[in-house]
Chains A and B, each alone.
Chain A
Amino acid sequence: MRKSTKLGLSAALAMAISATAGFAENIKIAFIDPLSGPFATTGTNGLAEWNFAAEELVNKQGGVLGGQNFEIVEFDNKMSGKESLVQLQVAIDAGIRFIAQGNSSGIAGAITEAVNKHNRRNPGDRVLFINYSAVDPALTNDNCNFWHFRFDANADIKMDALTDVMAKDDGIKKVYLIGQDYSFGKAVAAAAVRDLGNKRPDVEIVGNELHPIGKVKDFTPYARKIVASGANAVITGNWGSDMVGLGKAIIEAGFDGPIYTYYAASNGITRTFGEAGKGTINLVAEGALNPPASDRMAAYVTAFEAKYPDHDITQSRIANAVEMLAKAIDAAGTADDVVKVAYALEGMEHESIWGGKLFMRPQDHQMIQNVHIQEHTNENIEFPLDNSEFGLRAVSTVEMAAMDSPTTCKMDKP
């Protein structure tokens, strides 16, 4: 008798609690990226940026839809496509409507396909895919769909911006292309050949090669070839230890021209290059930390560094994605009907916290934004990386890069 009263009481209490929780339920965003294994550093850094952006840019500003907060729910995909799809299903089953993923275009391809299929079959609980980092051009071309939004500049846009800047440099006569032997490395090389051919037909491509990914122990022979080829600029899409090994070997072999990269910063890379990389290592990306675009941005980065001293802001587009998603949910007036949110996001213009305008191109859901060529240096660096004195500083900017670039995307809109 007594027992059943207790049970009934606790049940009533539980119901009361869940009822109150229902009032201001959080809007959940599933973060599906590697949080363990060899790529965990990138994943955890991204997670910190997502959590911070949600807290700082949305929740502290009063949330969305009159008081609902963003909540980032983490899912570890161990950098595996199969695991990602399992986690995606878990997230969808938990009622999460927004899926964020960025590391590896291969995984992004699997997710965008799965999301497309799911949304077609389950019109009742559709989800949106927020791709914050995967840059394979195919995702907004042949493999595009209505549910996928890319906030980073894709590999072609970055190459377009990079070659715009290189085209103005008359000192560059010979270019060497080198990359990792997989889809992204090939995409970078193909884009470089195409864009340089269009903009600077006089530039000779003296080398175009791919090396086995993660298998090269000593990059010295590659560096020797590059020096011997007489190249005065190198373009590479390498990342991780392949980037460090290649960059160091090239510099040590006596090469003194610029090395243009996509990913030669942060996660220990900036600190490792240090003094040796100064004047040589350049990087093409959206969102520059130096010089700071505004006081608001400086305050944001300072607060981030204070909260996460071991992490850096490496993916500035995460803040853009969070702000624009909040704006779209407010404009749609709902966080449950993602079709309305997607339509609000499509074609949206936004003032970026990093300076400059953002435009979500409606025909392919590719973000159009300013792309910067940044140099690795320790001069005039307000926000260094890797707790070192070195960081990236924007030296030239291509505004609204590739705004009119063609796309092969044909998406079905609901």
Chain B
Amino acid sequence: MDLFFVNIIDGLVFGLLLFMLSSGLTLIFSMMGVLNFAHASFYMLGAYFAYQISTVIGLGFIGGLIVAPIIVGVAGAAIERYGLRRVHQYGHVPELIFTFGLALLVQEVVKFFWGQNQIAYFEPEWLNFALFSIGQNTIEAYKVFMILISMLIFGGLLYILTKTRIGMIIQAALTYPKTVEALGHNVPMVFMGVFGVGTALAGVAGVIAGPALGTFPGMAFTLGSIVFVTIVVGGLGSLRGALAASLLIGWITTFAAAYNFEFRTILLAFGLEEPANIWDSGLRDLWTLTLPQIGPILPYILMVAILVFRPHGLMGKREV
């Protein structure tokens, strides 16, 4: 039972981290209709910038947490203004290719400046202690810090989008960009702002995930695909859906890795007989399969199921 609660917390941490990435991506998608392949690259840039700012320049962890996302956001806005906007007139495919190329470019740039290896970007000393423990398992203060930061961001975003004037304009621009423009609002400016904020959010995720999951040139790649899965499952353009899907996927992957459920139990339950010499059996892979081994593909199975049975996602309003 102890382990269950520990996994709930671990899954929550990972889920909220996914949420910080997917919230920006889902907003950008619903606004521009383009999947930003480079979104996870901004996450990686956030981690590397934070490392540079906090350790090399010496502003400390908080300095990195504040400055790095701003730099990433400004860079994101600039890329939207001078890159994506120009490509936009040629249609969606060039946009896709543009973001795809950008992802590759960012990866090479990161390798060029910081090298191939994992860099020494750590949790700050003042958060690097066991806050409490459940059974023998300690929960690091840093994990709780991650939870708090993500909650704060979700609350802030929800407030801005639903309760403020800016939020109303953004929501209106999502559905009726022409009308909003006719009312005198600068819609391209809104797009640029959303892109900047979205990438800055990815930057925040990178800053706080870098120490926990490791900062290396492959970090964007490992998380990139799962973020797309999250927004499809949650429903494109829905912030609440992104949160629900992120938490769901966080818990699924955590629990799948945590319990060594063996598939032979199912096979035995179906009345099948276990082969005497399992390594010579043609079905040995099926008999020896365990849940942790298939854990990483579960989110993709979930995505396929969602696309089949509920194409607009958990909370989305339009079809994919």
Contact = CB atoms under 8 A, between A and B. Distances in A.
A and B form one complex: yes
Interface of A: 38, 40-41, 181, 207, 209-212, 214-218, 220-222, 224-225, 227-228, 230, 241, 244-245, 248, 252-254, 267-269, 271-272, 274, 386, 388
8 contacts: A215-B296, A218-B212, A225-B257, A228-B2, A241-B216, A268-B116, A268-B117, A269-B118
Residue from A209, A221, A248 whose CB has the most chain B CB atoms within 10 Å:
A221
B89 interface: no
Interface string B276-309: 0000000000000010110110000000000000
Nearest to A275: B122
Contact of A220 (B10, B115, B122, B133): B10
A252 B140 contact: yes
Given A209-B290, A212-B293, A221-B258, 20 more contacts: A40-B116, A181-B293, A207-B260, A217-B14, A218-B254, A220-B254, A221-B7, A221-B254, A221-B255, A222-B292, A224-B10, A227-B136, A241-B216, A244-B118, A245-B214, A248-B214, A252-B138, A268-B117, A268-B118, A272-B120
A254 B138 contact: yes
Interface of B: 2-3, 6-7, 10, 13-14, 115-120, 122, 130, 133, 135-138, 140, 212-214, 216, 218, 222-223, 226, 253-255, 257-258, 260, 290, 292-293, 295-296
A268 B117 CA distance: 5
B128 to A, nearest CB: 9
Contacts, number: 106
Contact of A216 (B13, B137, B290, B296): B296
Given A212-B296, A220-B10, A253-B137, A225 B223 contact: no
Contacts of B138: 252-254
Contact of A224 (B3, B216, B295): B3
Contacts of B295: 212
Contacts of B226: 217
B293 A271 contact: no
Residue from B118, B120, B140, B290 whose CB has the most chain A CB atoms within 10 Å:
B118
Residue from A210, A218, A228, A267 whose CB has the most chain B CB atoms within 10 Å:
A218
A238 B10 CA distance: 22
B56 to A, nearest CB: 14
Nearest to B223: A217
B293 A211 contact: yes
Contacts of A245: 213-214
A263 B137 CA distance: 26
A253 B6 CA distance: 10
A224 B255 CA distance: 11
Contacts of B137: 224, 227-228, 253-254
B253 A272 contact: no
Contacts of A209: 260, 290, 292
B120 A274 contact: yes
A33 B187 CA distance: 53
A241 B216 CA distance: 8
Contacts of B3: 224-225, 228
A273 to B, nearest CB: 9
Contacts of A212: 293, 295-296
B135 A225 contact: no
Contacts of B255: 221
B136 A228 contact: yes
B264 to A, nearest CB: 15
A181 B293 CA distance: 8
